[in-house]
Structure 1
Amino acid sequence: MEVTEQKQKQVKYVFPEDFWWGSSASATQMEGAADVDGKGQNIWDYWYEQEPNRFHNGIGPADTSNFYYRYKEDIALMKEVGHNSFRFSISWSRLIPEGTGDVNEKAAAFYQDVIDELLDKDIEPFVNLFHFDMPMPLQEKGGWESREVVDAYRDYAAICFRLFGDKVKKWFTHNEPIVPVEGGYLYDFHYPNVVDFRRAVQVAYHTQLSSALAIQKYREQGQDGEIGIILNLTPSYPRSSNPADLEASRIADAFFNRSFLDPSVKGEFPQELVAILREKGYLPVHSKADLDVIRENTVDLLGVNYYQPRRVKAKEYAVHPDAPFMPDRFFDSYEMPGRKMNVHRGWEIYEKGIYDILVNLRENYGNIPCFISENGMGVEGEEKFRGEDGIIQDDYRIDFIKDHLRWVHQALSEGTNVKGYHLWTFMDNWSWTNAYKNRYGFVSVNLEKDGERSIKKSGEWMKQVVLQNGF
């Protein structure tokens, strides 16, 4: 009894008993086995074949953490660091190799085994359907530019619900849907490396429609869980209270946050954004029937990924008339003097941003049930922090998590409907074109020793947080 009381005295930030503690990951970034057991090619497999030079140290998606082979070991480690929930994604090209057509039975058995293993360890599976990994045969048909691909995704989602819906009660349609728009169609950091605002708008619209159609299917099947979407919400802070700076931040927010947040939660696109697209002649090809689907199929649950803020100011210079049309025609980026940085990633660390997002959801989005679905700190050269005992001493990660959780706790104490915190990520994983440049996990993956796993200091710390339900 005295030990329990002593523990409670030490715990300043107490979280609800049913708080979701865990981490998030994605299929392409952790499974490996990229061309094994009937898996089809996705855009990352294809792009790596074409341009391996675009990937850090020439490491492609076949050389990831090999969760496909080691999932039992990895899930046992999740249990050891205190997970009660874990978000992963299903690889569309593994489950349905051509993107449409027959289900790959070996893939269905693999995901069934992963789900069973998680449930056996009392870890709730949170399943995401799409994490940047378009099957290549569908990309060749236009990817998200194509209405046909939207329907293919809807059918894929319906298959997943039928196969796994009896055991999985937390579903997500997309992870960070703005990122393939930015990376693939505006800023050249994802395949197909297009720079074309008109095509980007169509991709964004169809992605949102695909989410609503999946939600519609989920409800038509009479599934009894919750379905949502995972959005990277990046608060757009103005440089000053000058009206021009405030306007710049509102427009940036409409492009990068509200473009998916508003239709996902409210069923409608932000009017400011629609007005800009209409005025400039960039409205997507759309139909009233599809807009009705978006309006009627909003999310039950919202995942929030937060890493850094966006800081903007009014434009300093006129835009060159022949330059490609881009969102930053309406604002410039602003570097706040004295900002705290993660120098490895080149990202600002601003912990209060997580609180501002949650307050915004409470005040302007009906206090929708939500959770922090990603938050994390990528560090380059982390091996140098490995102690004599073999454990990586990542105190900087512990501090990063603590400083964000304090703000989550503050929002919680003020009535925000935030239900959990998932770190990105469980174990060091392959990260798109950055490959293994930056490490994020609770668990180290030693590439020099055949992917040997070892729990970092942050993982041991997290285990205590979960035991005490706070820190």
Structure 2
Amino acid sequence: MLKFPNNFLWGAAASAPQTEGHSLLNGKSATIWDKWFEMNPEKFNNNQGPSDTSNTYEMYHEDVLDMKKIGMNSYRTSISWARLLPDGKTLNSEAIKFYRSYFQDMLDNDIKPIINLFHFDMPWWLMEKGGWENRESVDDFAFYAKTAFEQFGDLVHDWTTFNEPMVHVECGYLYGFHYPAIVDMKKAVQVGYHTLMAHVMATKAFRDSKVKGKIGIILNVLPAYSRSESSEDLKAKAASDLLNTRSFLDPAVLGKIPEELVDLLSENELLPEVEPSDQQNIKENTVDFIGINYYQPRRVQAPTNPKVPAKMPEDLYEPYDWPDKKINPYRGWEIYPKALYDISIMMRDDYKNIPWYVSENGMGVADEERFMNDDGMINDQYRIDFIKEHLEQLHKGIEAGSNCFGYHMWTFNDCWSWLNGYRNRYGFYRVDLNNHFKRTVKKSGLWFRELVENNGF
């Protein structure tokens, strides 16, 4: 039996835009997803846009009871900025009522809410001003954060500012997967920097608010693995770590941007515009904990045809196709549980052994109905095996002294996933889109209940 620490958090993660639905109802204004779907519905899988998602706005009470049925003691979701402050300034009373009722439901069922402020859902009113390219976004986000702490700080004591900030940088400004689908590394760096400063100033707003609790940030942190130990491949690994991991993790935990990152950006004419007070604010507003989303490793090698100065990340490092990899064919992602152990040791040794938790881990599978039993339950033994393999490595890291306090699966109910819609399913509960969003527990949900009851397996 692998036992986990007392009071370990067992739960799941999701986001407002991927679950709530009612995306242009109940006082909520448009986000980039609402507008992009309106402009280019053909980009979205099966014409599945953000309007319905999993209908949590209407079904949250049932959802919380379902969480309790499978033993969850914690749940991370987000607030919709465009719902709480539809114009960036004016409170939406319906949103306050909805979120307060939702969070109170969790508390009444002994489920700790961990509430995130931004999950890729830029309000359209801010996008029209330039979004994260515009320095005003830093102050706008800090005001939104302050408002959230004031409205819900009596119910919520565990906050995070951003989920995977590198994703909206990469997907929106390098690779075209999110709106505005710009390909411009210089803009991407500026967007990343403004996002970092928005996180810093939201953290400052939290400290200034004096509300009870802790604040962190959720990062898709993973160590890069180089093709070889050659100096060229190791240089590529270092560049990948600087851009993808240390760019947010170092300031959030250590209170400083790595000098090597500044040098790398300078060499490639990519330095962002900054303000004089930024460095001091970064230093003074570090986090209480880190959430780490882990799905796949990053394997890199020296670039074959680098451009100087770099025009894209591939000019600094290229993906390496490891021949021994195990793949999830539905997502095309490598399955490599050992990285969770490596992350554990990295957090212990390089980041002051700060409290951290696995804020997302999961396996997306298409056409799960293939695995449905006669009784209507999906037999997702593959998901159970996936969780076990990762928990074995996490347990090893905890035994080695890493300060990990929880494990959250992506996700609780099958949810809408951006341009992919419902192509891949991740949940402990199946959502039947053709039957009023009916929820049905999967085999993994029942297994998870046993995992929580035993605090191990």
- Band the TM-score falls in, shorter-chain normalisation: over 0.9
- The answer as to 2:323 corresponding to 1:334 is no
2:215 aligned partner, one-letter code: I
Task: Kindly state the Cα deviation for residue 316 of structure 1 after the two structures are TM-superposed.
Answer: 2.3
Identity, % of aligned pairs? 50
- The answer as to 2:430 corresponding to 1:465 is no
- Match among 29, 41, 48 for residue 59 of structure 1: 48
Q: Is the CA contact 1:196–1:324 (under 8 Å) kept in the aligned structure 2?
A: no
Task: Kindly state the Cα deviation for residue 324 of structure 1 after the two structures are TM-superposed.
Answer: 7.5
- The answer as to 2:63 corresponding to 1:74 is yes
SS of structure 1 residue aligned to 2:167: helix
1:447 aligned partner, one-letter code: L
Matches of residues 104-143 of structure 1 in structure 2 within 5 Å?
Answer: 104-143=92-131
Matches of residues 419-430 of structure 1 in structure 2 within 5 Å?
Answer: 419-430=405-416
Q: Determine the structure 1 residue equivalent to 2:85.
A: 96
Runs of 4+ in structure 1 deviating by more than 4 angstroms, as ranges, are none
Task: Kindly state the Cα deviation for residue 338 of structure 1 after the two structures are TM-superposed.
Answer: 2.0
Q: Determine the structure 1 residue equivalent to 2:225.
A: 237
Task: Kindly state the Cα deviation for residue 58 of structure 1 after the two structures are TM-superposed.
Answer: 1.1
- Match among 367, 371, 377 for residue 381 of structure 1: 367
Q: Determine the structure 1 residue equivalent to 2:4.
A: 15
CA distance in 2, matches of 1:197, 1:331: 14
CA distance in 1, matches of 2:119, 2:418: 11
Q: Determine the structure 2 residue equivalent to 1:150.
A: 138
CA distance in 2, matches of 1:430, 1:97: 22
Q: Is the CA contact 1:185–1:200 (under 8 Å) kept in the aligned structure 2?
A: yes
1:38 aligned partner, one-letter code: G
CA distance in 2, matches of 1:281, 1:331: 17
- Match among 347, 354, 358 for residue 344 of structure 2: 358
CA distance in 1, matches of 2:282, 2:65: 40
**Residues 138-188 of structure 1: per-residue CA shift (max 9 Å, x gap):** 011011111112101100100100111111110000000000100111111
CA distance in 2, matches of 1:439, 1:318: 38
CA distance in 2, matches of 1:304, 1:318: 31
Task: Kindly state the Cα deviation for residue 129 of structure 1 after the two structures are TM-superposed.
Answer: 0.3
Task: Kindly state the Cα deviation for residue 318 of structure 1 after the two structures are TM-superposed.
Answer: 4.3
- The answer as to 2:332 corresponding to 1:346 is yes
Q: Is the CA contact 1:301–1:368 (under 8 Å) kept in the aligned structure 2?
A: yes
CA distance in 1, matches of 2:187, 2:279: 19
Q: Which runs of 5+ in 2 are unaligned?
A: none
Q: Determine the structure 2 residue equivalent to 1:38.
A: 27
2:265 aligned partner, one-letter code: L
CA distance in 2, matches of 1:277, 1:374: 30
2:208 aligned partner, one-letter code: E
SS of structure 2 residue aligned to 1:317: coil
Task: Kindly state the Cα deviation for residue 221 of structure 1 after the two structures are TM-superposed.
Answer: 1.3
CA distance in 2, matches of 1:175, 1:439: 20
- Match among 289, 299, 310 for residue 277 of structure 2: 289
- Match among 163, 167, 192 for residue 155 of structure 2: 167
Q: Is the CA contact 1:48–1:60 (under 8 Å) kept in the aligned structure 2?
A: yes
CA distance in 2, matches of 1:301, 1:450: 38
Matches of residues 408-419 of structure 1 in structure 2 within 5 Å?
Answer: 408-419=394-405
- Match among 197, 200, 203 for residue 215 of structure 1: 203
Matches of residues 251-270 of structure 1 in structure 2 within 5 Å?
Answer: 251-270=239-258
Structure 1 vs Structure 2 CA RMSD: 1.1
SS of structure 2 residue aligned to 1:288: coil
2:30 aligned partner, one-letter code: Q
**Residues 312-336 of structure 1: per-residue CA shift (max 9 Å, x gap):** 11122344x7x97111101211111
CA distance in 2, matches of 1:34, 1:234: 33
2:211 aligned partner, one-letter code: Q
**Residues 433-461 of structure 1: per-residue CA shift (max 9 Å, x gap):** 00000000001001122211011000000
**Residues 332-379 of structure 1: per-residue CA shift (max 9 Å, x gap):** 111111210000000000000111111101000000100000000000
Q: TM-score, normalised to structure 1's length?
A: 0.96
Q: Is the CA contact 1:42–1:136 (under 8 Å) kept in the aligned structure 2?
A: yes
SS of structure 1 residue aligned to 2:434: helix
SS of structure 2 residue aligned to 1:372: strand
Q: Determine the structure 2 residue equivalent to 1:312.
A: 300
CA distance in 2, matches of 1:315, 1:179: 22
Q: Is the CA contact 1:344–1:380 (under 8 Å) kept in the aligned structure 2?
A: yes
2:38 aligned partner, one-letter code: E
Q: Determine the structure 2 residue equivalent to 1:6.
A: none
CA distance in 1, matches of 2:182, 2:310: 12
Task: Kindly state the Cα deviation for residue 86 of structure 1 after the two structures are TM-superposed.
Answer: 0.3
Q: TM-score, normalised to structure 2's length?
A: 0.99
CA distance in 1, matches of 2:2, 2:328: 25
CA distance in 2, matches of 1:67, 1:77: 12
Task: Kindly state the Cα deviation for residue 222 of structure 1 after the two structures are TM-superposed.
Answer: 1.2
- The answer as to 2:214 corresponding to 1:226 is yes
CA distance in 1, matches of 2:312, 2:167: 15
1:103 aligned partner, one-letter code: L
CA distance in 2, matches of 1:143, 1:62: 22
- The answer as to 2:382 corresponding to 1:396 is yes
Q: Is the CA contact 1:32–1:62 (under 8 Å) kept in the aligned structure 2?
A: yes
Task: Kindly state the Cα deviation for residue 234 of structure 1 after the two structures are TM-superposed.
Answer: 2.5
Q: Is the CA contact 2:114–2:157 (under 8 Å) kept in the aligned structure 1?
A: yes
